[in-house]
């Protein structure tokens, strides 16, 4: 509870001091980040150019996020071997995520403590406060642009369709 209140206070304080900012829009370059996944591998979004990348922001405490994980795992299995990077970022510490993952398999590359990345991707209201629903999805094309963004319940089929569409465009462009 204390940690949640602290995070809320930080979010509010940062939003007020940052002032109103534009929303991250489809077609814009995705904010790049470099961080470590909990498996010890390095994640560098800029180095993922040429791939389709799905970035999802989630929480172990989010019931919708938990219900989406099996669907996202199924999607990942169907996308196996394709030129796709699947990243799941949480603001929670690894010490909270690791026990959760022992009970709930999640086949994405998992990144803990990603508050700094949330600051780059979250929308802002007119006062500059952060505004991001969970789970949040950002689909990034091979050129590093936001191709789709949304949040909430049951987007796995739409995400898979959009990923396959982006991969088709990528294949067609490579043939020309």
Who's near 146: CB < 8 A, 6+ residues apart? 24, 25, 26, 27, 28, 29, 30, 138, 139, 140
Contact 49, 18 (CB under 8 A): no
Residue 169 pLDDT:
82
pLDDT exceeds cutoff 70 at 135: yes
Q: 148-157: string of b/e by CB count within 10 Å (b at 16+)?
A: bbebeeebbe
pLDDT exceeds cutoff 90 at 33: yes
2-175, CATH topology level: Glutaredoxin (3.40.30)
Residue 8 pLDDT:
42
Residue 2 pLDDT:
52
């Amino acid at each position: 509870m204390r940690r949640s209140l602290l995070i809320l206070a930080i979010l509010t304080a940062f939003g007020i001091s940052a002032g109103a900012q534009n929303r991250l829009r489809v077609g814009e370059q995705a904010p790049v980040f470099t961080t470590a996944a909990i498996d010890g591998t390095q994640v560098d979004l800029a180095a993922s150019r040429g791939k389709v990348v799905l970035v999802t922001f989630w929480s172990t405490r989010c019931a919708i996020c938990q219900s989406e994980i099996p669907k996202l795992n199924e999607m990942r299995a169907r996308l196996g071997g394709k030129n796709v990077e699947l990243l799941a970022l949480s603001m929670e510490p690894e010490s909270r995520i690791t026990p959760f993952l022992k009970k709930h398999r999640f086949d994405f590359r998992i990144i803990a403590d990603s508050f700094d990345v949330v600051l780059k991707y979250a929308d802002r209201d007119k006062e500059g406060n952060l505004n991001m629903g969970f789970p949040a999805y950002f689909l990034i094309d091979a050129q590093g642009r936001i191709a789709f963004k949304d949040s909430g319940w049951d987007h796995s089929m739409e995400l898979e369709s959009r990923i396959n569409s982006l991969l088709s465009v990528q294949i067609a462009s490579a043939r020309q």
